[in-house]
Amino acid sequence: MNVIETPASSRTTDGLGRLYDSVLDTIGNTPSIRINNLAPDGVTMYVKAEAFNPGASVKDRLAVSIIEEAERDGSLKPGQTVIEATSGNTGIGLAMVCAAKGYPLVVTMAESFSVERRQLMRMLGAKVILTPRELGGTGMYMKARELADAHGWFWAGQFETPANAKIHANTTAREILADFSGHRLDAVVTGYGTGGTVTGLGRVLREARPDLKIVLSEPANAQLVGSGVPQERTEAGGPASGHPAFEPHPIQGWTPNFIPLVLQEAIDEGFYDDLIPVAGPDGMKWARDLAAKEGILTGVSGGSTFAVAMEIAKTAEPGSVILAMLPDTGERYLSTPLFEHLPTKMSDEEMEIADSTPGYRTA
């Protein structure tokens, strides 16, 4: 295990040298952080930690892009209610953006997603409409469309909007190019929820660094892209039905039960070089290892992306450099199986430490 030694008095900070007019101005410019203890010998690994966004996920980028693009083209009117179907992170990002800009927000979300996600959206002022878990992503999507049409609300449309991939081309891809300017980078690994990240990265990185491999991943038991079966769509590009290859999976935020239109561009244009499935338990294992052995707290989606990056690293040539996208923070998953191995009361080992001294009562 590598130990990073830093002289105790060496750390100082100088501020960012600017003041921010809004929380929304702090979105983006998330760090690429080196993996020091888990990376195999001879391979350098980094993670792009999207939890450093103010709403703690990559979807902050999408949320601000949707709203500001709609403000620019006039499709979103002052004070108009915004509605979206979400597994959580996009809804949290939209709730933050709408709170800052003064728009009411209604989200629809399948009841299978974590409780803390719906509570965070409500804390940020959103109304959360739960849809039956058995209807999956298409259920919450169809309910949102129904509400938008009935009430004349602004449809955010994360799965179809051009604002999605655009923001990743304009920010995420540019950040990666800047961070690795003058440095080797052999592969970038990402999963997909809407497909915005891989599509935006593909548009820019394919041209700027043509030798760079882009690797896409999806759940092993829900290989929608890997099945090769086309998605049935409505005229607007949304899902006409659930995809036949879908099965419920534990990687929240990844792979709804349809192939989003935003992702379809990456499929059609060949914006990724490999498609590697990952099992949910492997994603949880690596999320736990990143926390315990690197001090990096990420969710199941981040752990799953890192699991694929580790798989690639096993056979990578010496000197290879791999970057894994970490979409959010592990705190989004406190009520999920990711944390079920942790006791809420003191463990036997903790009790032994507590009892090693006689003073002060312990709980």
Which residues does the annotation mark as catalytic? 59, 301
Amino acid present at 111: E
| Distance spanning both ends of the chain, measured CA to CA | 34
Q: Which residues of 186-210 are buried (b: 16+ CB within 10 A; e: fewer)?
A: bbbbbbbbbbbbbbbbbbbbbeebe
**Residue 255 and residue 218 in contact, taking contact as beta carbons nearer than 8 Å:** yes
From start to end of the chain, where are the E strands? 32-34, 44-49, 82-85, 105-110, 127-131, 154-155, 187-190, 213-219, 274-278, 321-326
Structure tokens at 198: 């891989």
Structure tokens at 75: 């499709």
Element (H, E) at 71: helix 59-73
Q: Give the three-state DSSP class for 241.
A: coil
Residue by residue, DSSP assigns 163-209 as HHHHHIIIIIHHHHHHHTTTS---EEEE--SSSHHHHHHHHHHHHH-
